[in-house]
Amino acid sequence: MTITHFDLQPWEKEFFENNLEMKQKFIHDSKIQNFLEEIKDVEILSVFIHTKVTKEIVDKLPNLKLVVTRSTGFDHIDTEYCKSQNITVCNVPAYGSNTVAEHAFALLLAISKQIPVLSERTKKFDFSFKDKLGFDLAGKTIGIIGTGKIGKNAIAIAKGFGMKVVAHDIYEDAEFAKENDFQYTGLDKLLGESDLLSLHMPKNEYTQKMMSLENIRKIKKGCVFINTSRGTLIDNKVLIQALDEGIFAYAGLDTMDGEEKMFAGEVSSDQKNLLSRTNVIYTPHSAFYTKEAVQRILQTTIENIEGFGAQPAL
């Protein structure tokens, strides 16, 4: 079978060449639409989150049988249409469960200890710090929205810091809650109790713009907001308003609404507003990006390809 990989780093290409015995084509660009004639006979597509596999793309690839995404999320793929065309879609469900949770706390610790601004001062030989008072995590209440594998790792880390955990998920894991001494609660109650709020949800119909202005109004003032899941969970204008009104004292973000265009150089006024704020830390959707996690991604992708036929479609 023939496979084409899109949006690759050089070391990823080397990994596939050394570990996957198959006729392979490597395209470093993320835009399939620019290469449709070149890959018209492809049977397997390997993509990342920036590569859109739409109905229009699928219709131009008559031999396509399998789409493997080197990510957990698969909202960049029209999975329903693929299913209707008997095309299997596979993801990597668990490569970064600890990795992304650790990044959420890296953002939180950077905020709580005022690390970015103080580090930047020392580069200018300014060693003052008394105007940047931090805060402890121990004893604080953290609200975890979404208790899948990443959320559960975040809970374990929070407990290690001596934090009180409250959580919300439409699918509650009562046994895990008992083992880790925390309670599930309704969303409204969680928003009202949390000193810190961390999102760990996929993008879907239920979560889209979940952090609406109506829900933001339920949060007590001075909350620290962490989002390492999907930017679409909160509109940029709502986030700006929450920061302006002091509902969020700080925001630690690894994702931002509309970041796809931002990465392509189209930075909106709202995005510029957020990026310019001293009480906002943003990393460019890089929470997953550790040596161990990316190797798990590639290895699982190879297993998905080699196991094609035994895999259920998403």
Q: Which of 112, 161, 119, 116 is nearest to 133 (CA)?
A: 112
CA 301 to chain centre: 18
Smallest Cα–Cα separation from 3: which of 314, 312, 311, 304? Answer: 304
Q: Which DSSP string do the residues of the chain spell out, in sequence order? A: -EEEEES--HHHHHHHHHH--SEEEEE--S-GGGSTTTTTT-SEEEE-TTS-B-HHHHHT-TT--EEEESSS--TTB-HHHHHHTT-EEE--TTTTHHHHHHHHHHHHHHHHTTHHHHHHHHHTT----TT-----STT-EEEEE--SHHHHHHHHHHHHTT-EEEEE-SS--HHHHHHTT-EE--HHHHHHH-SEEEE----STTTTT-S-HHHHTTSPTTEEEEE-S-GGGS-HHHHHHHHHTTSEEEEEES--TTHHHHHTT---HHHHHHHT-TTEEE--S-TT--HHHHHHHHHHHHHHHHTTTTSPP-
Environment class of 61 (CB within 10 Å of its CB; exposed 0-12, middle 13-18, buried 19+)? buried
Name the residues annotated as catalytic. 230, 259, 285
Q: How far apart are CA 21 and CA 43, in angstroms?
A: 15
